[in-house]
Structure 1
Amino acid sequence: MALCLGAAWPAWAATAAGRAEDPIQSSPALAKIRDAGVITLGYRDSSPPFSYLDRQRQPIGYSIDICLRVVDEVRRRLAMPTLDVRLMAVSSATRLPLLANGTVDLECGVTTNTAERNKSVAFSVTTFVAASRLMVRPGSSIRGLEDLRGQPVATTVATTSIQFLHTTNESRQLGMKILAGLDDLEAFRLLATGRAVAFAMDDVLLKSMIATQPEAAAYQIVEEPLTVEPYAIGLRRDDAVFKRLVDGVIVDLFRSGAIHALYRNWFQSPIPPKGINLQMPMSEALKRVVANPTDASDPRLYR
């Protein structure tokens, strides 16, 4: 497991010739932010409690709050107290390409750190640990993947859930018909309208979705987990200086205990705009991450 033991800022690094090197110039992200006078945050518009819009159509959420802490530190490190923040909506399909090409500096949503994704982008230390599960209608006989043999199943494009379903469908020859929504709400409607018998997605997102439905009792989450999903803040690859800054902010939240107040605010308290309380205590997996921060992408290390 890769441990992050803090983020010592390399104020000045000596070059091979003995000259001092500006650490900001050695960070493509920080140099871009400084030169442009703006930092760009990618957000999701409907993924409570991580990243979504309030009544004023402004992004709020757990991931947004963490990213704003990073923005504060960037302002301090660059000595730019008036650094502008640009907010850019991203989707499950666009978030990683926009990170990879430098359009977005931080992706503040609900993105799982995976080995495959690390080929194109980087991730901070883990900020949340979810599990992918199935949402079904009450009275459904579905208790696991075997019960989906030959059945239509909904999920969302460009997610780890759809990748898992495709891989498992092929390896176990389940004959599932996998239906993909462009976002979680569209995928949910496939279940709600009877076109799918189950909706596969991360449990925290399923619970949040159920809580917002007029008839919450019309849906339930299957107990058996499909996968483990370590969420993290996305950033560009090959920028060790910027990653140390981002990791340092998050590790400081963990070590100071501030993460607990932040967590309670979004997972154990009424949240805007409808005052819904998810009543989700911090999982044992996340407690372990807080005690021993890691940017590991291997889901087995979180079990």
Structure 2
Amino acid sequence: MKKLFNLKLKHLLNALMLIPLIMVSHHLSAQPTSVTLEHIKSSSTLNIGYRQLEPFSFRDSDGKVTGYTIALCNMVADELRESLGIKKLAIHYIPILFTERVSALNTSKIDLDCSVNTVAPERKNSVSFSTDYFVANMRIVSLRKNNIKSLNDLRGRTIAVPRGSKDLLELNRINREKNLSLSIVTSDTVEDAFDMMTQKRTAALILDDILVYPYINKSEHPENFFVSHEVVGVKMKYALMMRKEDPIFVDFVDKTLGKIFESPLNAQLANRWLTQKVVAKNTQKTQY
């Protein structure tokens, strides 16, 4: 009986001794990893998606990709370089259409989309968003002679809007709820949507206010355009877009943005790109 008791005790002690090892092994295997951070570190490369959308991301006349969100992402790159111990981090700026953003992220064509991305519940199953950095209003843009000032003036008419954008989702909702009978024509880019309106292929364009003024100001006759005082739909919160299921990278980006937003540097960036009112030349000023 004593031998049997000692044998059982021995087995129990051996089992107890294994518990810490099992716990350590489980802890190590359960350590979360970031696919994005691992890719950036192993390749010493950060691939940034952007679109031609002033003042947030655009290629200027000298061929340099610049803008407010590009500046933010360049500072994220600096933080990555230091945190990952990369001596030289190459940054590749890759033009990506609205409709390509999700697939470009999920196929690792880009690591971070640094253009205008509106936070939308419909997208959160496919991608992750950073903390928002700007809030815009959607407005009606038209030729002044069309005398379009409100949604009611658009009833039964043809409207241009970029496909794959939150503007399109919001316009579809408003069209259904208000029974406006709009005919919505979509385009690959904001510029194409703007051209449809200027070439009278559509009666108007629905777009975020801050994005439309650069196109008006570059036109030959900016005084010919009208931007509605009426705000259409909900406010548009802009954020950086990242791959889904990579919370460590999202947290890294958010913490970096938090540091930027709390520093005097952000005021300088905002003053350069955002707080100077962008208004159509020679027209009645429309406040955001």
- Normalising by the smaller structure, the TM-score range is 0.7 to 0.9
1:213 Cα offset (Å): 1.6
SS in 2 for 1:47: coil
1:24 Cα offset (Å): 9.6
Does residue 40 of the first structure (1) align with residue 47 of the second (2)? yes
1:265 Cα offset (Å): 1.2
TM-score by length of 2: 0.83
Tell me if structure 2 keeps the 8 A contact 1:99–1:106: yes
What's 2:241 paired with? 234
1:25 Cα offset (Å): 6.8
C-alpha separation between the residues in 1 aligned to 2:107 and 2:186?
A: 26
What's 2:162 paired with? 156
Change in Cα spacing, 1:161 to 1:16, as seen in structure 2 (3 Å) is farther
Structure 2: gaps spanning 5 or more residues = 1-20, 281-287
What's 2:3 paired with? none
Tell me if structure 1 keeps the 8 A contact 2:129–2:239: yes
Does residue 209 of the first structure (1) align with residue 209 of the second (2)? no
RMSD: 2.4
1:139 Cα offset (Å): 4.2
Which residue identity lines up with residue 255 of structure 1 in the other structure? Answer: E
What's 1:278 paired with? 278
1:136 Cα offset (Å): 1.4
SS in 2 for 1:116: helix
Does residue 181 of the first structure (1) align with residue 174 of the second (2)? no
Does residue 119 of the first structure (1) align with residue 159 of the second (2)? no
Does residue 265 of the first structure (1) align with residue 272 of the second (2)? yes
Of the candidates 242, 250, 262, which is equivalent to residue 243 of structure 1? 250
Tell me if structure 1 keeps the 8 A contact 2:98–2:165: yes
Tell me if structure 1 keeps the 8 A contact 2:145–2:224: no
Of the candidates 98, 104, 126, which is equivalent to residue 110 of structure 2? 104
Alignment map for 1:133-144 (pairs within 5 Å): 133-144=139-150
Change in Cα spacing, 1:24 to 1:70, as seen in structure 2 (3 Å) is farther
Higher relative contact order (CA 8 A, sep 6+): 1
Change in Cα spacing, 1:56 to 1:252, as seen in structure 2 (3 Å) is same
Of the candidates 82, 85, 89, which is equivalent to residue 88 of structure 2? 82
Tell me if structure 2 keeps the 8 A contact 1:267–1:279: no
What's 1:73 paired with? 79
Stretch moving more, 182-191 or 65-74: 182-191
What's 2:12 paired with? none
Which residue identity lines up with residue 242 of structure 2 in the other structure? Answer: L
Which runs of 4 or more aligned residues in structure 1 lie more than 6 Å from their structure 2 counterparts after TM superposition?
22-25
Tell me if structure 2 keeps the 8 A contact 1:138–1:219: yes
1:16 Cα offset (Å): 8.1
C-alpha separation between the residues in 2 aligned to 1:182 and 1:278?
A: 24
Structure 1: gaps spanning 5 or more residues = 1-14, 270-276, 286-303
1:279 Cα offset (Å): 6.8
Larger Rg: 2
Higher-helix-fraction structure:
2
TM-score by length of 1: 0.79
In percent, how many aligned pairs have the same letter?
26
